[in-house]
Every structure is written in C-alpha cells, then in structure tokens.
Amino acid sequence: MNSESPWGPGAQPFQQMLGDGWAKALQAFQQFAPPTGGLSAAPSVPQLSFDTEKLQQLQQQYLHDATELWNASLQGTPTAPDRRFAGEAWAHNPLASFTAALYLLNSRTLTGLAEAVQSDDKTRARLRFAVEQWAAATAPSNFLAFNAEAQKKALESKGESIAKGLQNLVHDLQQGHMSQTDESLFEVGRNVATTEGAIVFENELFQLIEYKPLTAKVHERPFLLIPPCINKFYILDLQPENSLIRYAVEQGHRTFVVSWRNPDESLSHKTWDDYIEDAAILAIHTVQAITGAPTVNALGFCVGGTILGTALAVLAARGEQPVESATFLTTFLDFSDTGVLDLFIDEAFVKFREMQMGQGGLLKGQELASTFSFLRPNDLVWNYVVGNYLKGETPPPFDLLYWNADSTNLPGPFYAWYLRNTYFENNLVKPGKATVCGVGVDLGQVDIPVYLYGSREDHIVPIGGAYASTRHLPGPKRFVMGASGHIAGVINPPAKNKRSHWIRADGQLPQTQAEWLAGAKEHPGSWWTDWSQWLKGHAGKLVPAPKAYGKGRYKAIEPAPGRYVKQKA
C-alpha cells in the first residue's frame, strides 16, 4: 500500500542501509511500467507500493546477513557461493572476496524488493528481469579493478593478458559481435554442414537440399525438415557425430532440408504469407514432385515448426493433405506460455514494431542474437566479457556457439505479423482468427499423426508451451520431453549416451504438462531412437535408393550446403 514515501513504511532507513547508489537503483524501478494509452500517451511514472510485511522481513534479513558478512570479514575471508567468484585468487584476496559477497547480498535484496512490489504479475516479472540484468552487469567480476583472477593473470603474464584482451576487444568491435568461440576454426561446408547433398531447387526465399542416401534402400515416403528462419539450418548438421540430418539419412529416409536465404533489402517487403506459400508449401510440393510420393513426412524446429503448422492448416483449409506425419521440435503453436519473452510484448511494443517495419525493412540478425543472449546474461554475455577482454583468453572451439554467432536477418513485415498474431494475440489457436494465404487458420483441421518434443530447461520455448500444442492438434499424438535446453536438448545423438528423456507408456495427454509428467517415466539417453521408431512407422516400405539428385526439371544446381547458408547478416 502507498504511504507518504512511495516505497512504503520503513523504506527510508532501508535506503540508508543500502546506500545512496542502491537507493537510486530502487527508484529506477519506477521506469518499468508501460505508458498508459499506447504510443500516443505521455510516459507516466507510477508510484509503486510494497507489501509492508515482506518489506519489513527483507529489512530484517538484510541487517542480519550484513552483520554476518561483516563479522566473517573480521575473522577472515568471507566466502561468495557463486562460480563467478570461486577461483583461488578470490579466496586469497580479502577485499575482492568481501566485495563479491556484498554484491551478492545486495543483489538478493533487490530481487526481494522486486518480489515485494504490489502490482500485476507482468510488472513484477519485468522488475525481476530488470534486476537480473542490472545485477549481472554490475558484478565485480566484470571489472578489472575488482576481478582478482584477472589481476593475478595480468601480474603473472606481465601485462600480456591485458594486451591480448584489448586485441580481442578490437577484433570483436570490427566483426560486430562478441566472440563466444574461436570462429576462425570453423567454415560452413568444410567442417560444419558437411553431410553430402545437392541443391535441387531454389527461389528468392530458400534453397532445397536433397541429401545423398547412405543406405542401399530408402523408405518410399520422403522426409522434409523445416528449420527456423531466425537461424541457419546447420544447427541440424553441425558435425557428422551430432547431425540430426545425417542420422535421418542413416535411418534410410530420403531427406530434404529447407535452407533459408539470409534476407537483405531485396526481401525487406516479404510477409508471413510469403514464407508459408512460397517456402513451406512450395517445399512440400517440390519434394512430392521430385520423389513422386503422394505424401511426405515433415519436421519443423522452433519457428520452423510454427511455419510448418501454419502451412498444414492452410493446406487443410484448401482440402489438401500432402503431409503424412509431422514432427514439432521445441515449437510454439499455442503462445499462451512464452516464458521470459512475454516480458517484452505489449500493445505499445507491437505497435512500435509495426510502425517501424510493418510495411518494409529488416530486423537485423544481431538484434535478435543479442536479445536471446541476454536471456542468459551471465552464461552468454558477461562470461565472455571476463574471459575475452579482462583475461585475454581465446574461447575454446565449439561448433554450436559458432552457429549461434552466425545470425540472420528477418523481413520487417514477416516479423511484425508474427509478433502480433503469435506472441501478443495468440491467434493461431483461435479457429479462423488468423487469415494466412487467403484462408482462415484452424489447427483443428490438421488431422495427422504428430510427434511433439519439448526440452525441460528450455528458456525460449518453455516445456509448458511445447506441450500446449497437444490441445489443438486432433490427430494421434506422441509427446516426449528431453533434458537440457532449447538446443542442447534437441541436438543429443544416441551415440553420446547423454541426458535423459521422458515418455508416458499409456500415451495419455492430460490438460497440463505437469499432469503428464506425473505419469511419465525417465529413460536414459537420447530421444532420437524413440522418434526414429515412430517415424519409421509412417515412412512406408523400403525401395531402392535413387542414384541421382532431383528429377526431371529439378536438377542439381550446386553441392550442399549451397550459397544461401553462407550469406552473412
């Protein structure tokens, strides 16, 4: 409740304990409520109120912890239970260790203040996110003056680490993004995206890759993969030992993949409809024409799954069913549970993006990449600030992080439509609400077998969001949950024998993912083997493998991975 102080009763002594700098940080909370009335309204700064009981408990806890910290510092070096400050150099530097422990105490307190705000859930979530970002950015480890390990390394190397750190900084400024791996060690087509194949069709939006069979016979029904257009396709073909594409080929599937073009200004007018009609649907029909198969099996990953689901609904509205079965990997069709990404989406933000690029323009790939990185700031941002610049280290080679840095642009109209109709209004699950390619979208007409996969720790497509698709697709469904996150959970080859996956033997799909999990059993290792068995059940009989790429007017244009995937944002 409000009192004379906008921070509630007892806030003034609390601000004095935290200090003037932290009091200003508290006041910065006021900036995180959206202006009323949309873009035309003048920004207003609301008076936030706090839960009095929570605030008093927080004060008492802060005083108790601060006293313990001070006593620990008098008796020796206080410990900071955080991996950023876990090195020996921190433990042997009393001032650095005390600074780290004090930082963690103040960070916890600000997080507690965000929780104590009396407001709606979204405002509190925004405050928590702001505090997390601020805390991650102001960690003592991010500054040479406070980082005991970086100082120790500078002394031991006689300044060489500082010189190398400056070289790394200049290099990253020149390339336009922070290095998360040694990118000089990777090249698309040489040691990533190396599965043998050829481009058999292309238009201005995509190239279609057909892969060379690795078995004498293949299943009669071909297999088409649609990756996300916000990344390069080779996340599914990093190295031979962790390539989902190669795995599918080894299982006897005649495999095709959409390789999206990295949009430039010539594609800045392209819409969601264009990506559905002239890419996803066209790719399906092209695979049918090349193979002569009446139907294909299809897979969509992340946004590629959203595109595939929309395309299937459009085809169903036209009375067509060219896809026998569909696999959706970490995919949103129902956007009611989008996790942390929901914090950014409101009417004002959507209108701004529509005004900015709804009629044309590009969403730059680096903006997308930065957004996703700051969802995990300590792991994907500040960890590399410390290693690359303060310690002068070269990050180790990692194919996944090389792919992560290979960003792609998006056409503005495509992005604006997607933003409003999925994340903001969730129109794809409202029958007939969204009109795509001239027809109303109704996922209830997509009556085919589907395999749905979600990752347990996914921060981009939370497991509940992946599971929600089970409520909207009427055909036979199999849901599987894997361990780890959005990428590592998906790219988990059986040979590694890593992580686990969960399956319900009874095949039941209750209303919520939590209810589903209560009846699921954990299985060690990759979910790929379960999916492979499922896909074989929809792939038809074995026939002799083709001896050449394409067919008729669909001839090999160039070797895989093709030109489009090599275009830089």
Task: Tell me the pairing of strands 223-226 and 255-260.
Answer: parallel
The three-state secondary structure class of 453 is: strand
Residue 100, CB half-sphere, CA atoms under 13 Å: how many?
28
What pLDDT, on the 0 to 100 scale, is given for residue 81?
76
| pLDDT given for residue 202 in this prediction | 98
Query: What token pair was written down for 534?
Result: 């499922």
Q: What is the pLDDT of residue 389?
A: 95
74-88, 130-144, 150-164: least confident range = 74-88
Residue 569's pLDDT is what? 77
Asked if 133 and 380 count as a contact pair (C-beta separation under 8 A), the reply is: no
Residue 7's pLDDT is what? 32
Q: With bands split at pLDDT 50, 70 and 90, how would you rate the model's confidence at 362? A: very high
Q: What one-character DSSP code corresponds to residue 541?
A: -
**pLDDT surpasses 60 at 396:** yes
Give dist(CA 305, CA 224) in Å, integer.
Answer: 12
Share of the chain above pLDDT 90, in %: 73
Rg (CA), the chain: 26
| pLDDT score for 298 | 98
Burial class (CB in 10 A: 0-12, 13-18, 19+), 400: middle
Long-range contacts of 59-68 (CB under 8 A, 24+ apart): 59/10, 59/13, 59/14, 59/17, 61/109, 61/112, 62/14, 62/17, 62/18, 62/105, 62/109, 63/17, 65/105, 65/108, 66/17, 66/105
Which of 435, 462, 232 lies closest to 335, judged by CA?
462
The length of the chain in residues reads: 569
Q: What was the pLDDT predicted at 115?
A: 87
What pLDDT does residue 236 have? Answer: 97
Task: Output the six-digit token pair for 144.
Answer: 């040479």
Query: Phi and psi for 554 in degrees, rounded to 5?
Result: -95, 90
| Residue 27: pLDDT band with limits 50, 70, 90 | very low
> Please, what is the average pLDDT of the chain?
89
Cα 285–chain centre separation: 29
229 noted as active-site residue = no
Instruction: Give the burial string for 453-486 (b: 16+ CB within 10 Å, else e).
Output: bbbbebebbbbbbbbbbbebbeeebbbbbbbbbb
Span 407-430, mean pLDDT?
96
Structure confidence at residue 441 (pLDDT): 98
pLDDT(35) > 50: no
Q: Please give, one letter per residue, the 3-state secondary structure of 312-331.
A: HHHHHHCCCCCEEEEEEECC
How far, in Å, CA of 314 to CA of 272, rounded?
12
Judge whether 112 and 63 are in contact, CB under 8 Å: no
Q: Is it the case that residue 142 has pLDDT exceeding 70?
A: yes
Distance CA 562, CA 251 (A): 24
Contacts for 488 with CB less than 8 Å, ≥ 6 apart:
400, 455, 499
Helix (H) and strand (E) counts in the chain? 21, 17
81-86: average pLDDT: 86
Q: Which of 200, 218, 258, 302 is catalytic?
A: 302
Q: Are 239 and 192 in contact (CB under 8 A)?
A: yes
pLDDT at residue 255 in the model: 98
Is 296 in contact with 322 (CB distance < 8 Å)? yes
Residue 49: pLDDT band with limits 50, 70, 90:
confident
301 — pLDDT class (breaks 50, 70, 90) = very high
Average pLDDT of the residues in 369-393:
90
In this model, does residue 26 exceed pLDDT 70?
Answer: no
Nearest to 460 by CA among 312, 301, 346, 326: 301
Closest CA to 458 of 477, 481, 439: 481
pLDDT at 77: 64
Mean pLDDT of 243-270: 97
- Provide the CA 440 distance to its chain's centre, in angstroms: 28
Mean pLDDT lowest among 194-208, 265-279, 316-330, 371-385: 371-385
Q: How high is the pLDDT of residue 237?
A: 97
Would you call 36 helix, strand, or coil by DSSP? coil
**Picking from 68-82, 159-173, 458-472, 517-531, which range would have the lowest pLDDT averaged per residue?**
68-82
**Residue 414, SS3?**
helix
Q: Residue 505: what pLDDT? A: 94
Instruction: Please compute the mean of the pLDDT values over residues 199-226 and round it to a whole number.
Output: 98
Distance, in Å, from the CA atom of 150 to the CA atom of 162, rounded to the nearest integer, reads 9
Domains and CATH numbers, the chain: 11-34+47-148 (no CATH), 197-364+409-566 (3.40.50.1820)
